Amino acid sequence: MDFDNWLETYKKKKHKKYRHFDNPISLIEKRRDLLTNPEEICRHCFYPLIKILLRKNRLRKVLPLSSSNNSLKPKVKRDEPNIREILLCSHIDSLIYSYYAFLLSEKYETYLRKNHILDFPIAYRKLNGKCNIEFSHEAIEHIKNQKNGCWILLFDFKDFFGSLNHLVLKEKIQRVLNVERLPRDWFSIYKNITRYSFIAQEKIFEIKEIPAGERKKALKTSDRWFSPKEFRQLASHINRNSTGIGIPQGSPISAILSNVYMIDFDQELAEIISRLKGFYRRYSDDFIVVIPKSRVCDSDDIKNKIISLAENYDLKIEEHKTRIFYFNGRRIFEKSDNQYKTSILTFLGFSFNGRSSSIKSGTISRGYNKLLREAKILEKLLDKYEQGLTEEVPPVPNNLRERILYIENKKKISSGVKVKSYKKKNFITYGYKASKVFNNNEGVFHAMRNLRNRIGAKLRRYRKRRALAIDSKS
């Protein structure tokens, strides 16, 4: 029964194709005997993970030095890129971790319900289809209701997944599973996800002698990287995590393990905040605390108490990312060096200035730039066609249009006559949903409408150019 429930959930998700040490799995139903047999899991040999470094460029506005000329626009400066480490599991290992994550999630929900901490951890859980829109709305509405003022504290754990203590994690898993000792199959899962082996993707490129210009093309195929004979010769290039801390970020089971690790932290902090009649929510490594001003407390005392609590669980909080705000019922002020300056509170991609809420400006610009890059790819293909560099006719941007524009599509349910109307999810639909959740927020609605119109106009110009180019060639 567990397998059937997991399979139904697994098939609903969209799984990205990627290249690894094994081939993609097509018929998942045939893996029932492996996934549901503990002895098979104990005998299974897990592949090394592939370490990928994701680079994200960061920009920030810099005000001009001269304040006499108010017409000067702020310059955009490129900061040091944010590099995130992701470790990819092989296809078969990913399937195993996904199934055991499903089993652990059910036990975890039971534990939360039994210990009355259901409301506090909000990431990586099925909460009636809620997402960060509803979570940020809940936090902002709670702040708005504090008419007498309140303190707001934002925290961020440093290297969250890489800091989890293995022995502490093992004890927490046993407690959630309600066992004194991990069963052999669960111990195999625990051992392989904590003492994982890995190889850098760059090293694979070097071994395969793939030049830099051809690496993106090499990643698009789903063929396994090495034959079984070649794979056995990689031993000298494979590393192992033997530090006693850290789990890989990117595996299907890592998210639920991080929540399980935090059960005591969540419970203890929730009790502290509830005594102060406050509000606490944690989304993975980010969490927010709201304390009413009417209570006898100091924001710095609360901050130090929370930092000390995190250290008890071998976790460190990013000091430079910890921010203290004060809401006086009308405006948001940020505390900095014992001074308060008018500011904007940002939580889970949404900002609040004390009066109104909106999607974070950086989120909108990133969404627009992502869609714009995809539209520019079509324009480059069209340029080559017009210049006679290729005979291939540029594609009609139907798929891109469906992703960008808020349009209704038809999907056949079966070979019969019935059809189902649905709306494809994209950044525009995300914005419209946010507008509704935030009480028909006109600012968010207009921002999404403008974004849709700008991209739509670009696609219409592309269609006209494409039609003229095809006519001139015929």
What is the tens place of the pLDDT at every residue in 131-143? 889 999 999 999 9
pLDDT at 104 over 90: yes
* Contacts by 135-139, CB closer than 8 A, 24 or more apart: 135/281, 135/283, 135/348, 136/347, 136/348, 136/349, 136/350, 137/350, 137/357, 137/437, 137/438, 138/281, 139/279, 139/281, 139/288, 139/290, 139/347, 139/348
User: Angle between the 427-437 and 361-386 helix axes, to the nearest 10 degrees?
Assistant: 160
| H or E segment and range at residue 328 | none
Query: What is the chain's Cα-based Rg?
Result: 26
| H or E segment and range at residue 253 | none
What are the strands, taking DSSP E only, across 201-312?
239-240, 279-283, 286-292
Q: Quick one: pLDDT at residue 410?
A: 42
Q: Quick one: pLDDT at residue 415?
A: 42
β-strand partners of 143: none
Both tokens of 37, joined, read 């047999």
Cβ neighbour number for residue 18 with a 10 Å cutoff: 16
Is the dihedral angle over the CA atoms 196, 54, 351, 427 positive or is it negative? negative
Mean pLDDT of 391-419: 54
Q: Quick one: pLDDT at residue 417?
A: 43
Rounded to the nearest 5 degrees, what angle is found at the Cα of 427, between the Cα atoms of 425 and 431? 100
DSSP structural state of residue 30: G
Describe the chain by its helix, strand, coil percentages, rounded to 5: 50, 20, 30
| H or E segment and range at residue 410 | strand 408-412
| Lowest mean pLDDT, pick from 79-88, 255-264, 396-405 | 396-405
In angstroms, the Cα distances linking 238 to 24, 233, 395, 474 are 22, 10, 42, 56
Both tokens of 243, joined, read 């530090």
β-strand partners of 390: none
β-strand partners of 56: 82
pLDDT at 129 over 70: yes
Task: Report whether 94 contacts 42 (CB < 8 A).
Answer: no
Spatial strand order in the sheet of 339-342:
279-283, 286-292, 150-156, 323-327, 332-336, 339-342
Q: Quick one: pLDDT at residue 45?
A: 93
Reported as a pLDDT band with limits 50, 70 and 90, residue 73 is low
Of 20-29, 133-142, 331-340, 348-357, highest mean pLDDT: 133-142
Cα maximum dimension of the chain: 80
Q: Which amino acid is at 147?
A: K
Average of per-residue pLDDT values in the chain: 84
| H or E segment and range at residue 81 | strand 75-88
Helix (H, G, I), strand (E, B) or coil at 159: coil
| Lowest mean pLDDT, pick from 32-36, 112-116, 279-283 | 32-36
Reported as a pLDDT band with limits 50, 70 and 90, residue 315 is very high
Mean pLDDT of 68-95: 74
Q: Quick one: pLDDT at residue 60?
A: 59
Reported as a pLDDT band with limits 50, 70 and 90, residue 217 is confident
| Lowest mean pLDDT, pick from 42-51, 182-191, 354-363 | 354-363
Which comes out higher in pLDDT, residue 63 or 25? 25
In angstroms, the Cα distances linking 103 to 2, 128, 245, 250, 329 are 8, 19, 23, 18, 45
pLDDT at 425 over 80: no
β-strand partners of 286: 156, 283
Task: Report whether 159 contacts 247 (CB < 8 A).
Answer: no
d(CA 163, CA 166): 9
Q: How many CA atoms lie within 13 A of 97 on its CB side?
A: 27
| Lowest mean pLDDT, pick from 164-178, 221-235, 421-435 | 421-435
| Lowest mean pLDDT, pick from 225-239, 307-321, 422-436 | 422-436
Q: Quick one: pLDDT at residue 76?
A: 59
d(CA 100, CA 456): 44
pLDDT at 422 over 70: no
300 backbone φψ class: left, alpha, beta (φ>0; ψ -120 to 50): alpha
Both tokens of 459, joined, read 């696609």
Task: Report whether 28 contacts 10 (CB < 8 A).
Answer: yes
